Amino acid sequence: MHPLAERIQKQDMRALARAITVVESDEQQKLELMSDIFSIKKQAHHIGITGSPGAGKSSLINRLLTFLRSQNLTVAVIAVDPTSPFSGGSLLGDRTRMNQHFTDPGIFIRSMATRGSLGGLARATKDAIRVCDAYGFDVILVETVGVGQSELDIMKVVDTTGLVLTPNSGDVLQIFKAGIMEIADLFIINKADLPGVEKLKTTLEEYMMIVNPKGWEPPIVSTISTENQGMEDVWQAMADHHTYLYQTSQGEDRRKQQLKLEVYELIREEIWRDVQGKLERDDQKQTAFQNPEADPYELARSWFQDWMRRENDDAE
């Protein structure tokens, strides 16, 4: 077994942080490490919190952490932050809001930069979730960037997705357009002390009547995170959904689909790593980028064909 995996199994917090760094930096040992990590998974409840910027996701998670710890549950938080276009690093805003939990040994908080990846998630987020799972946390919370349609990828990496909305924010129409409503396992109306709560509830109920979901019907929960209200209801809805996933055929079908998507994603990553490496070592191909009028479609087609030929020659 990989040394880091052994240390994580013994709940070594420094090994946990180091392993996440390995998967973030895409080091060569990543696949070996993650295979060993997968063998010691403990099936924590993986929860995604998504929604538009300003919906109060971080404040909600901050209060939810307090509630979960009162239930003697250990929690890992993976806060996926936007990448700075200048430094390439994460802005780390979410860790600042959760600073009251830093000294709690039952809570682990890690910010991850998107680094340009699509889907509002760092590419290594799923791996980081698995590492935290192997460590033995009861609950793993993932907070996404909150950038509209790209939030759809959250459903590929967690068990339960909570969509945070606020009254009179104007976000609902955009969310309808983006298709984000379809990924929600739970609707959380935050800032429920503002006017417009009933109207938003009615809108969500009408949406549910239109889509007529088979199996799980996402509940609607109201919260006021600034006053610590509604956390027990949020957690109960999440726990109910987790039970549904592991006790029904629909839940099993969803987990099978997630496995399929993850395998395809890993294959894409490996192919791209190999293709990119060979292209960047080919000086002749790199000179093509000096011509801004070059045909990108032709370059991509011919270069990929070159890569395929080399792969076939190596196989023979």
Residue 316 CA to residue 252 CA, distance in Å, equals 41
State the DSSP code for 59: H
At 127, list the tokens. Answer: 């791996």
AA identity, residue 208: M
Residue 116 CA to residue 230 CA, distance in Å, equals 34
Residue 58 CA to residue 280 CA, distance in Å, equals 40
Residue 205: its pLDDT value, please? 87
- pLDDT tens for the chain, 316 residues long, are 889 999 999 999 999 999 998 888 777 778 889 889 988 877 899 999 988 777 888 889 999 999 999 999 999 999 887 544 333 444 444 445 566 677 788 999 988 876 545 444 656 888 899 999 999 999 999 988 665 544 567 777 889 999 998 887 665 666 665 567 778 899 999 999 988 899 888 888 888 887 777 778 899 999 998 899 999 999 999 999 999 988 998 888 888 888 888 888 888 878 888 888 888 888 888 888 888 888 999 999 999 898 888 888 776 6
φ and ψ of 124, to 5 deg? -95, 10
Residue 24 CA to residue 48 CA, distance in Å, equals 19
Decide if 152 contacts 179 (C-beta within 8 A). yes
| pTM for this predicted structure | 0.82
Sign of the four-CA dihedral 88, 89, 90, 92: negative
Instruction: Please report where in the chains the tokens 């984000």 appear, as a residue.
Output: 180
